[in-house]
Amino acid sequence: MRICVIGTGYVGLVTGTCFADFGVNVTCVDKDAEKIEMLKRGEIPIFEPGLAELVSKNIREERLSFTTDLETAIKESLVVFIAVGTPPKDDGGADLSYVKDVARSIAENLNGYKVIVTKSTVPVGTGRLIEEIVGSVQDEHSFDVASNPEFLREGSAIEDFMKPNRVVLGARSERAIEILKDLYSPLYLIETPVLITNVETAELVKYASNAFLATKISFINEVASICERVGADVHMVSKGMGLDNRIGPKFLHPGPGYGGSCFPKDTLAITKIAKNNDFTFKIVEAAVEVNERQTQIMLEKIKRALGGDLKGVKISTLGLTFKPNTDDIRESPAIRIVEGLVKEGAVVSVFDPAGMEHSRELLAGSVSYCEDSYEGADGASALIILTEWNQFRKLDLERIKGLLKEPRIIDLRNVYEGDALRAEGFQYVSVGRERLSG
Ligand code: UGA
């Protein structure tokens, strides 16, 4: 089977490459000629562990190719995946202009039956919109529109694609479903559950899943704040909750709030979808609000630990990305906190193993950039952990203590054990694990 994937952003590139690895012939298309030339050379424009190797392997084995020639790619394919961006608009809704452009191009190049699949996260009703666009441009060839949402996490996208918890296929016709099932047949061997449904349901599964996970995070972040007031340990509360398999242990890790290109965008989009349909999605609206408040709560925690006034106080921060194993700083709580510290007058230094480049423009001259985890600690009044990169989990604490002006670690990702650090002479502050002081 030959398929094409339109859009070589994060979702498109991972999807195309992984299908090629399944043995499918895949053409990845993008209008950015420079990016396509890079990809042809096996150079990857995004940070994703294992992806470069998989791209090179599948180029070599001639199952994966890259082009700007959209027309030929569509004409040669039975299945056309739409994986272009759906950036948020000012009102929180998703901007569908790229999706609509692609739908028109597909219609203009239909030369036989094809399945047109949305892989980008699109508002409910987009499948129907694509159907209308393609049907209005041409009526010579039959086609089906399907929704096959992705559930890839940055940093573990290949694993998530190859061993997913589920595959969701939404379509109106049996023919489209059979073709898509065939495409995913390697996953039957590992007994991946496949949910077959209508297009609208599949579209909503994606938003509801992300909104639920975001709500789980905001929930535990509020529980952490309660823990600090009553002398409970949020880790044990999470554990106690998670052992109930109706709740599950995942996404109950407290911290500075969720970020990235998905949760913030999708939570706003689902509340907008609800609003457009005369309904208020109260829980998710609250989850968004809690996430925004979390930055403030973290800043207050830092101020409290440092005696209230941050003016001129030297602070070393570790982590800029919204989570480890990515270079993505979009909507990163770490960035929001660094900006907050700078606003309070602190003298801030930053270090991140992969997020420094992207943050330079954003933080433009307001912070100093360090070479490693230790440089910023020299003479600082606190070391703050903002992202839980593995290399921050086992810092040389003796060295840190020798460098810091005052031995103080503020661990907003709860990667250390308070008792152990206090025994080494540190003032240690975490999220939801010790009583609020002052
Ligand atoms: C998320 C979903 O997990 C994927 O299933 C989905 O496909 C993807 O969005 C998407 O829509 O494309 P991702 O944004 O890569 O994936 O990141 P996550 O690993 O879900 O983390 C999101 C944020 O939540 C991070 O800032 C992380 O630090 C935070 N988080 C996560 C917590 O604060 N606590 C937790 O317990 C878990």
- Over the stretch 320-339, which tens digit does the pLDDT of each residue have? 999 999 999 999 999 999 99
Three-class secondary structure of residue 415 per DSSP: coil
pLDDT beyond 70 at 438:
no
Ligand 1 centre distance from Cα of residue 61 (Å): 33
pLDDT beyond 60 at 405:
yes
Are the beta carbons of 325 and 154 closer than 8 angstroms?
yes
- Over the stretch 86-139, which tens digit does the pLDDT of each residue have? 988 888 788 999 999 999 999 999 999 999 999 988 999 999 999 999 999 999
| The domains spanning 2-197 and 216-429 adopt the same CATH topology | yes
> Which pLDDT score is estimated for 364?
84
- Domain map of the chain by residue range? 2-197, 216-429
Instruction: Return the residue matching tokens 């290399």.
Output: 391
Annotated catalytic residue, options 28, 227, 262, 370 = 262
Ligand 1 nearest-atom number relative to CA 214: 24
- Over the stretch 231-247, which tens digit does the pLDDT of each residue have? 999 999 999 999 999 99
* Helix H or strand E segment including 361: helix 356-363
Which residues does ligand 1 sit against, CB inside 6 Å?
A: 121, 150-154, 210, 213, 217, 251-253, 255, 258-260, 262-263, 322-323
Determine whether domain 216-429 maps to CATH 3.40.50.720: yes
Please give the C-alpha separations between residue 6 and each of 81, 159, 334, in angstroms, as whole numbers.
6, 22, 32
* Cβ atoms within 10 Å, residue 374: 18
- Over the stretch 147-181, which tens digit does the pLDDT of each residue have? 999 999 999 999 999 999 999 999 999 999 999 99
Residues 6+ positions from 417 with CB-CB distance below 8 Å = none
pTM of the model: 0.96
Ligand 1 centre distance from Cα of residue 153 (Å): 6
For ligand 1, atom 9, name the residue with the nearest CA.
262
Ligand 1 centre distance from Cα of residue 263 (Å): 7
> Which pLDDT score is estimated for 91?
85
At CA 313, angle to CA 307 and CA 314, rounded to 5? 130
Burial class of residue 352 (count of CB atoms within 10 Å of its CB; 0-12, 13-18, 19+): buried
Ligand 1 centre distance from Cα of residue 293 (Å): 18
Active site residue 370: no
| Mean pLDDT to the nearest integer, 400-426 | 97
Are the beta carbons of 45 and 38 closer than 8 angstroms?
yes
* Packing angle, helices 51-60 and 10-22, rounded to 10: 50
**CATH for 2-197, options being 3.30.9.10, 3.40.50.970, 3.40.50.720, 3.30.450.40:** 3.40.50.720
